[in-house]
């Protein structure tokens, strides 16, 4: 079953076309990766999916429902959660507060919003703690986000997205700026989430992509140039050309 779908999606900023005619179909429960050289339009595609920008053309469907143009703050409530390429957390908050805010947003009820003590939402708290445990940060829940290491901040980034219990998880380069050792841990983490969530993953590091993906879409200059299972993508001459600048093709 296709859970998230785009149809001829396009976005231009003035004369610059960042995303053009992208039609994607993400199967429920799969891990679908999007790769491509710098500036290929991957992050812009995410920004379209999560309502940061409205597309200039095309449509986005979630569960056959048209969600094109839904503003960013509604998207989380529809079941799409994203992590950011550049760490984007709440620096002065404790780790628990970071994830709690996300858990509460998509919680069952906002009753008592103005008066009930924030500690007295057991459901949100439990979800927040579970999200921290999922990324292995449960031991640091009282630490402040600005005081933990970059690697841990990347994990927290992911935990904030998980706390929303999304149907689709959009991960924008979760291993950005990580050391090889931290990268390996992040890969293990993403792999552990596989099957529990439908995941769309943007990544640069080919070893990560090839080992975890069910399907791969390749973007180049804003367009999709190939799609298929990892083995097939690895052999594809057009992909090699895009990545290696036509030298080794």
Partner 1 sequence: MRALALILVSICVLPLIVRPVIATEIWIFAIFGLGLNLLLGYTGLLSFGQSTFFGSAAYVAGWLLKHYGINVFFALGIGVGMGALSALVVGYLCVQRSGLYFIMLTFALNQLFYFVAYQWTSVTGGEDGMQGVPRPEFLGLDFGDPRVYYVFVSILFLACLWLMQRIVESPLGQILQAIRENELRAEAVGYHAPRFKLLAFVIGGAFSGAAGVLYAMLFGIVPLEAIGFVFSGNVVFATLIGGSGSLYGPLIGSFLFIWLSESMSVVWARWPLLLGVAFVIVVLFFRGGVVEAWTRLVKWYYSRQKTSASPSAR
CB closer to partner 1, 101 vs 133: 101
The region of 7-15, 34-42, 62-70, 112-120 touching partner 1 under the rule CB under 8 A is 112-120
Quick note: the x/- pattern for partner 1 over 122-161, rule CB under 8 A, is --------------------------------------x-
CB of 1 to partner 1, least distance (A): 25
Instruction: Tell whether residue 117 is a contact of partner 1 (CB under 8 A).
Output: yes
Distances (CA, A) of 40 to 68, 203, 240: 22, 12, 15
CB closer to partner 1, 77 vs 191: 77
The region of 35-43, 96-104, 187-195, 214-222 touching partner 1 under the rule CB under 8 A is 96-104
Please tell me the distance from the alpha carbon of residue 176 to that of residue 35, in angstroms, as a whole number: 14
Instruction: Tell whether residue 197 is a contact of partner 1 (CB under 8 A).
Output: no
Instruction: Tell whether residue 110 is a contact of partner 1 (CB under 8 A).
Output: yes
Location of structure tokens 């990544």: 203
For partner 1, which residue of 100, 152, 174, 176 counts as binding (CB under 8 A)? 100
CB 44 within 8 A of CB 54: no
Instruction: Tell whether residue 102 is a contact of partner 1 (CB under 8 A).
Output: yes
For partner 1, which residue of 22, 62, 89, 137 counts as binding (CB under 8 A)? 89
CB of 247 to partner 1, least distance (A): 39
CB closer to partner 1, 60 vs 242: 60
Q: Which of 172, 216, 213, 174 is nearest to 47 (CA)?
A: 172
Q: Convert 43-66 to b/e letters by CB count within 10 Å (16 or more is b).
A: bbbbbbbbbebebeebebbbeeee
The region of 21-29, 67-75, 174-182, 214-222 touching partner 1 under the rule CB under 8 A is 67-75
Structure-token pair, residue 218: 């390749």
Residue ranges in 162-191 that form contacts with partner 1 under rule CB under 8 A:
163-164
Instruction: Tell whether residue 82 is a contact of partner 1 (CB under 8 A).
Output: yes
Instruction: Tell whether residue 235 is a contact of partner 1 (CB under 8 A).
Output: no
Distances (CA, A) of 78 to 62, 107, 148: 8, 12, 31
Q: Contact positions toward partner 1, by CB under 8 A?
A: 50, 71-77, 81-82, 84, 88-93, 97, 100-102, 104-106, 110, 112-118, 121, 160, 163-164
């Amino acid at each position: 079953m296709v859970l998230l779908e785009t149809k001829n999606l396009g976005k231009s900023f003035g004369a610059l076309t960042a995303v053009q005619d992208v039609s994607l179909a993400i199967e429920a429960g799969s891990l679908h990766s999007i790769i491509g050289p710098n500036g290929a339009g991957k992050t812009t595609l995410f920004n379209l999916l999560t309502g940061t920008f409205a597309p200039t053309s095309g449509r986005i469907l979630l569960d056959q429902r048209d969600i094109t143009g839904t503003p960013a703050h509604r998207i989380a409530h529809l079941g799409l959660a994203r992590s950011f390429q550049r760490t984007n957390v709440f620096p002065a908050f404790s780790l628990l507060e970071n994830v709690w805010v996300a858990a509460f947003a998509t919680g069952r009820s906002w009753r008592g919003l103005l008066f009930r003590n924030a500690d007295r939402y057991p459901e949100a708290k439990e979800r927040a703690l579970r999200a921290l445990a999922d990324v292995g940060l449960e031991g640091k829940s009282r630490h402040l986000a600005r005081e933990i290491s970059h690697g841990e901040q990347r994990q927290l980034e992911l935990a904030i997205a998980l706390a929303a219990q999304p149907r689709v998880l959009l991960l924008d380069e979760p291993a950005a700026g990580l050391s090889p050792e931290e990268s390996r841990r992040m890969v293990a983490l993403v792999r552990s989430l596989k099957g529990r969530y439908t995941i769309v993953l943007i990544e640069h590091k080919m070893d990560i992509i090839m080992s975890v993906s069910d399907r791969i879409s390749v973007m180049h200059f804003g367009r999709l140039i190939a799609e298929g299972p990892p083995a097939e993508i690895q052999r594809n001459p057009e992909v090699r050309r895009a990545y290696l600048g036509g030298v080794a093709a």
